[in-house]
A and B are shown apart, each in its own frame.
Chain A
Amino acid sequence: MAPLLEVAHLSKSFAGLAAVKDVSFTVERGGIYGLIGPNGAGKTTLLSLIAGALRPTSGAVVFEGRRLPGGKPHVAARAGIVRTHQVPRPFRTLSALENVEVGLRFGRARGRAGAARIGSAGRAAGEGRIEDAARSAGTARDGRETLAWVGLGAEAERAAGTLSVGNQKRLELARALAARPSLLLCDEVCSGLTAAETAAVLALLREIRAEGTTILYCEHNLKAIMSICDHVIVMNYGQKLAEGPPVAMQNDPAVIAAYIGKPAGAGAGGSATADGGSSRSAPAGSAPAGSEPGGSGR
């Protein structure tokens, strides 16, 4: 079976400035993949490429064995790749519920099929009846369930633009989940949240994984990522620096050098000694210092 996602030699330049350079990796079904790297490493650009929001300069995004057309995010979404945005982008004049309905009615589920439940955990009992009820009540019930799941049950009727930033982040997640992704791309869902809120979101991500959705989680905050990810991809200067299990990455000299800076005289690229599961693909020293590509936005 083909891997869920295959990123093959993906590159993106903005006016000649390379934001993502020849990045390749594979995402297997299940699990939470972390995507980390310092500011401007090209994480968000990479997510935008995978989500189809940007057309790659070269390379390909292959999803479930099918090459996705670049620059067509709705095609990617219907195939099962849905992203959340770093800065929430709610449909401000629509209610929270209607925001979720956009995901329900246009995502992979699209309309009828959307009546199938989204969350599962605590509702195993009487499943059939709940499903039937959800189906007969149309998408609204399902939208409410999704909102309740992310903790926005009480805010369903509120215009999304009037929600607090924390709640807008939850809505961003609810809306994406309503589209029933098989690959959820999360862009810094925890930034700007309190410790308690962060813990709640991380718990939610674990729940989503438990239901079989694969997550590619892009995060600036190392602590959050190390606590939740099964596999980590490290980026720097638009290139893949390393990938492997979180613990290996934490101890990888090249990764440490990228985040903290390297000790004088000790070239990070030269210190690629044996460390467990990490597979180095790009020579760490290859990107000249100070040539950081700035384009990580959309």
Chain B
Amino acid sequence: MKASAAARRDAAATAPGGRRIAAAAAPLALLAALAALPLLGPGPNLIRLLFVTLVWVTAAVAWNLLGGFGGQVSFGFAVFYGLGAYAAAVALNAGAHPAVAFGAAAVTALIASLLIGLPAFRLKGPYFAIATIGVSEAVRVVMSNVAATGGASGYRIVERGAFHQLQHFYTALALAAAAVGASILVRRSRLGLALIAIREDEEAAADLGVDPFRTKLAAHALAAALTGAAGGVHARYAAFIHPQGDFAFAISVAILLMPIIGGVGTIWGPVVGAAVYGLVHEEVVASFPELHLLIYGSLLILIVLFEPDGIVGLLGRARRALVRVPPAAPDGGKN
């Protein structure tokens, strides 16, 4: 099932003319629609919901670079999200321009990813995953005790000037678009090829000249930088951050869950997963705080059992059923 799904993905990548243009136009149309949306004058609540969702999209797409393409499952992305939030917060309070603050967030997370990756990528499979949990919890505890940023009681961001919600919205939109763009480029690049080869068979990849350690380190760094920037963008909007929130294990789990729900290892899966998660989380959690965990739990079980390619895989299946294309022709490159 997995192999045929890959063939389908390849089909999309190598599809001739019209299909390819359509495939490129749809995301651009979506981007344009989102950019134009504020002109219709939606309420601040909807803009806020979209803002949060776009932050999630960025983190989910970033995680997918390492976890989806490279198969290296990390439970520690809250480290990058949280460090990005704190780095941006400190920079903003020092009077830095927001762009500089977000840059600082990305760089801080990138450096952290190298410090974590250098030892952690000596480990493989589940051992790597477990190590990331340990690092994540350790960083949270440390940050809860750093007096300079208020320790466990949190840290407030004070900015001069008025609050412009749309400015935040467009920042998040630009970042999410950059993340998706990076994901598309990586998938087509030498790095992407190396990551997928490592996911499929690390030893065989190394036998052909792929350096697994450096490849993982590079993907980890790129993913961390994007996630850190996402944390920074969210922190500026929230104007208050605290370790139990920004470094929470729940953040790590959410960042990992979204690509899996949407379709791990695909370009659009993490986007769809984040959209679903963002909307469900924001809408449901307010009214039924316990219910949303139940929803994710059930969703996760269903996906792992029936559609490892996530919602994107499910949609592909539905579309093929509707247009009556013979299912999963083994030479998927043709039809």
Task: State the A residues within 8 Å of B (CB).
Answer: 51, 53, 72-74, 77-78, 82-83, 85, 89-95, 98, 101-103, 105-108, 110-111, 156-162, 175-176, 178-179, 298
Which segment, of B2-10, B22-30, B90-98, faces chain A? B2-10
30 A-B pairs within 8 Å (CB atoms) are namely A51-B207, A53-B206, A73-B203, A73-B206, A73-B207, A74-B208, A74-B210, A78-B209, A82-B208, A85-B204, A90-B200, A90-B201, A91-B201, A91-B204, A92-B2, A92-B200, A93-B2, A93-B200, A94-B6, A98-B193, A102-B194, A102-B205, A103-B208, A106-B190, A106-B208, A158-B333, A159-B330, A176-B208, A179-B208, A179-B209
The CA of A91 and the CA of B207, in the complex, are separated in Å by: 12
List residues of B (50-94) whose CB comes within 8 Å of A's CBs: none
Q: How far is the CA of A111 from the CA of B191 in the complex (A)?
A: 12
CB-CB under 8 A for A53 and B4, given A103-B208, A158-B330: no
- Contact assessment for B330 and A102 in the assembled complex, using a CB-CB cutoff below 8 Å: no
Q: 4 tightest A-B contacts by CB?
A: A157-B333, A93-B6, A161-B3, A106-B209
Q: Is the CB of B3 within 8 A of A93?
A: yes
Are B211 and A89 closer than 8 Å at their CB atoms? no
A74-B206, A95-B333, A106-B208 provided; 19 other pairs, C-beta below 8 A?
A: A53-B203, A53-B206, A73-B203, A74-B210, A83-B207, A85-B204, A90-B200, A91-B196, A92-B2, A93-B2, A93-B6, A94-B196, A102-B193, A106-B209, A106-B210, A157-B331, A162-B330, A178-B208, A298-B203
- What residues on A are CB-neighbors of B205 within 8 Å? 91, 102, 106
- Give B contacts to A, CB under 8 Å: 2-7, 10, 14, 190, 193-194, 196-197, 200-201, 203-212, 265, 330-334
The answer to whether A157 and B210 touch (CB under 8 A), given A92-B2, A94-B200, is no
- A77 x B206 contact (CB < 8 A): yes
Tell me, rounded to whole Å, the shortest Cβ–Cβ distance linking A152 to chain B.
13
Complex contact A92–B207 (CB within 8 A): no
A161 touches B2 (CB 8 A): yes
Enumerate chain B residues within 8 angstroms of A178, measured Cβ to Cβ: 208
A92 to B193, CA, bound (A): 13
CA distance A102 to B201 in the complex (A): 12
Q: Which residues of B contact A93 (CB under 8 A)?
A: 2-3, 5-6, 196, 200, 265
B-side interface mostly: helix
In the complex, A78 Cα to B214 Cα: how many Å? 15
Interchain CA distance A152-B102 in the complex, whole Å: 49
Complex CA gap A158/B5 in Å reads 11
B209 A74 Cβ-Cβ under 8 A: yes
Cα distance A47–B333 when bound, in Å? 36
* Complex alpha-carbon distance, A293 and B20, angstroms: 56
Question: How many angstroms from the CA of A170 to the CA of B193 in the assembled complex?
Answer: 20
Determine whether the beta carbon of B200 is less than 8 Å from that of A158. Answer: no
CB distance from A54 to the nearest CB of B (A): 10
Chain A residues whose CB sits within 8 angstroms of the CB of B10 once the complex forms = 95, 98, 157, 159
Q: A103: which B residues are within 8 A, CB to CB?
A: 208-209
Closest to A157 in B: B333
From known contacts A73-B203, A102-B194, infer whether A108 and B209 are also in contact, taking CB-CB under 8 Å: yes
Residues of A within 8 A of B208 (CB): 74, 77, 82, 102-103, 106-107, 175-176, 178-179
Bound-complex Cα distance A82 to B204 (A): 10
CA distance A85 to B334 in the complex (A): 30
Whose C-beta in chain B lies nearest to the C-beta of A175?
A: B208
**Other-chain residue from A89, A92, A98 in contact with B3 (beta carbon distance below 8 A):** A92
Tell me if A89 and B4 are in contact (CB < 8 A).
Answer: no
| Interchain CA distance A117-B231 in the complex, whole Å | 48
Query: With A and B bound together, what is the CA distance between A74 and B331 in angstroms?
Result: 31
Cα distance, A157 to B6, chains bound together (Å) = 11
A160-B200 Cα distance, complex, nearest whole Å: 11
- A107 neighbours in B (Cβ, 8 Å): 208-209
Residues of the A chain whose Cβ atoms lie less than 8 Å from the Cβ of B196: 91, 93-94, 98
CB neighbours (8 Å) of B332 from chain A are 157-159
